């Protein structure tokens, strides 16, 4: 689900005044200003005000916020659990009971203007496919963007993300490379690891050299990119648990 004009729902605790916008100036009161009751887009405190409003609303719906991940909320109804993931104004809803999900959607629609986007298919660069057999997640489009941004879109793929027994050092005497570009590529690859655990070790290794990357460090990163080029469609699959037949 998506909250329409989310930031406009935030309640302001501070006193904020704005000038009358062009085209909406009250005749005879040109010298006056407006005192805001709600947040506006562009205010520094608007994102925080919206987050506080959403948090207050979900807690009033008997949700509990995760103590370790504040963007995750859970609510139990007997044995069934409802999980809601929040990213600014987007909500991912997960639950074992369709009735609980419908009830929550109705509660949110009563509290805010909402858009129901249906079954989850794409979220924060992660592609989601759901079927009766299970759920698979991948980042093929995101991987393609990484290759394009790094100038490796047409590169020859390789079979492994890192050469066997590769040894890199911070004391390397190879020439320095553009640190900003290196950090950008490695940072993007770290996000790709969300659905590609086969990259975790190699990406973690090249991440050690973000401070002062050199040519041999970049060569290792390019090997990872060539591996990604040949495995863009790879991801994770979670098989649906088969119900055991009663004897």
pLDDT, position 233 = 93
pLDDT tens across 131-147, in order?
989 999 999 999 999 99
The chain-wide mean pLDDT, for the chain, equals 94
pLDDT, position 246 = 53
Query: Is the pLDDT score of 34 beyond 50?
Result: yes
Q: At what angle are helices 179-192 and 140-149 packed, to 10 degrees?
A: 170
pLDDT tens across 94-117, in order?
998 999 999 999 999 999 999 999
- Taking residues 23-43, report their average pLDDT: 90
pLDDT tens across 144-155, in order?
999 999 999 999
Confidence of residue 247 (pLDDT cuts 50, 70, 90): very low
- Taking residues 27-38, report their average pLDDT: 90
pLDDT, position 244 = 61
* DSSP structure string for 58-108: HHHTT-EE-SS-TTEEEEEETTEEEEEEEETTEEEEEES-HHHHHHHHHHH
pLDDT tens across 196-217, in order?
999 999 999 999 999 999 999 9
- Taking residues 55-62, report their average pLDDT: 97
In 3-state terms the chain splits into helix, strand, coil percentages (rounded to 5) of 35, 20, 45
Q: Regarding predicted confidence, which is higher, 219 or 245?
A: 219
Give every CB contact of residue 127 below 8 A, 6+ residues apart in sequence: 121, 137, 138, 139, 140, 141, 235
């Amino acid at each position: 689900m998506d909250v329409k004009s989310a930031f406009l729902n935030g309640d302001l605790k501070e006193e904020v005044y704005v000038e009358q916008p062009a085209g909406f100036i009250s005749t005879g009161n040109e010298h006056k200003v407006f005192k805001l009751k709600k947040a506006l887009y562009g205010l520094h405190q608007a994102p925080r005000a919206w987050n506080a409003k959403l948090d207050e609303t979900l807690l009033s719906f008997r949700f509990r916020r995760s103590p370790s991940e504040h963007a995750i909320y859970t609510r139990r109804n007997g044995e069934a659990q409802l999980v809601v993931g929040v990213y600014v104004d987007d909500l991912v809803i997960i639950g074992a009971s369709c009735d609980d999900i419908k009830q929550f959607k109705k509660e949110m629609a009563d509290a805010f203007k909402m858009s129901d986007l249906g079954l989850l298919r794409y979220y924060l660069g992660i592609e989601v496919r759901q079927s009766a057999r299970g759920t698979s997640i991948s980042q093929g489009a995101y991987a393609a963007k990484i290759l394009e941004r790094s100038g490796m879109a047409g590169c020859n793929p390789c079979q492994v993300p890192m050469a066997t027994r590769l040894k890199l050092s911070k004391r390397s005497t190879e020439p320095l490379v553009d640190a900003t570009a290196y950090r950008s590529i490695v940072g993007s690859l770290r996000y790709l690891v969300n659905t590609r655990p086969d990259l975790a070790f190699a990406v973690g290794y090249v991440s050690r050299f973000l401070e002062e990357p050199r040519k041999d460090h970049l060569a290792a990163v390019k090997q990872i990119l060539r591996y990604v080029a040949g495995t863009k469609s790879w991801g994770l699959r979670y098989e649906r648990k088969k119900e055991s037949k009663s004897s």
